A and B are shown apart, each in its own frame.
Chain A
Amino acid sequence: GAVVSQHPSRVICKSGTSVKIECRSLDFQATTMFWYRQFPKKSLMLMATSNEGSKATYEQGVEKDKFLINHASLTLSTLTVTSAHPEDSSFYICSAREMTRRETQYFGPGTRLLVL
């Protein structure tokens, strides 16, 4: 089946530093990847949609200068949390959509970010 990996699985950083999270589709090509944020015991909130080779589309209320998304290839998208603060602590999840199966998204295992 389609596998999506994320790296790192968890990261602890100091306030003011930047953190990069990678999302990879391991056995398929993903023209579109999605980044979500999940708060404790809450649903997933879509942050942005990224298409390979173009700028990401951010959801309302999501700061694009804060959450930088790059989708440089058909198998890799990165989310960089710039100048992280404690309120950015959360569970970040990516998903990827296979080119030939447009309605199905495959999710990564998530990255837990803790900003001290």
Chain B
Amino acid sequence: GNSVTQMEGPVTLSEEAFLTINCTYTATGYPSLFWYVQYPGEGLQLLLKATKADDKGSNKGFEATYRKETTSFHLEKGSVQVSDSAVYFCALTFSGGYNKLIFGAGTRLAVHP
């Protein structure tokens, strides 16, 4: 079946550190891939997405590259800020039909000054 696996958290970093949150997927076709972020007390927000192999999604200093050969979509940021503290969800969906999103378990990031 289709699934998304994320690295377990929490991830704790100091401000300005480099961030990587791993995400791999299992899919029967060629999905679109997403990263969503959930700030404390808020709903999910789309952070970035990529719709085909080798695409790079980027937003707010975050980026992730769709790697078909390794079925991965790792999230990276060169220098994190305290305001990046949140839960990050990797997800996939397929075109057509109801576009059901399949989420990973989420990775909590805590950035300290």
Contact A102 B99, beta carbon cutoff 8 Å? yes
Known: A93-B44, A110-B43. A104 touches B103 (CB 8 A): no
Q: What is the minimal beta-carbon distance from A13 to any residue of chain B, in angstroms?
A: 21
Query: Nearest chain-B residue to A111 (Cβ)?
Result: B43
Known: A42-B105, A43-B106. A103 touches B99 (CB 8 A): yes
- List the A side residues contacting B101 at CB < 8 Å: 34, 46, 95, 105
Dominant SS at the A interface?
Answer: strand
Query: Nearest chain-B residue to A57 (Cβ)?
Result: B98
Q: What is the minimal beta-carbon distance from B56 to any residue of chain A, in angstroms?
A: 17
B100 within 8 A of A: yes
Contact B98 A49, beta carbon cutoff 8 Å? yes
Contact B43 A108, beta carbon cutoff 8 Å? yes
Q: B interface, how many residues as a size bin?
A: 20 to 34
Q: Which of A19-54 contact B (CB under 8 A)?
A: 32, 34, 41-44, 46, 49, 51
Docked pose: A46 CA to B99 CA in angstroms:
12
Query: Nearest chain-B residue to A59 (Cβ)?
Result: B100
B51 within 8 A of A: yes
- List the A side residues contacting B105 at CB < 8 Å: 42-43
Query: Nearest chain-B residue to A4 (Cβ)?
Result: B43
- List the B side residues contacting A102 at CB < 8 Å: 95, 99
- Contact string, A44-70, partner B, CB cutoff 8 A, digits 1/0? 101001010000010000000000000
Docked pose: A107 CA to B103 CA in angstroms:
13
Docked pose: A34 CA to B44 CA in angstroms:
13
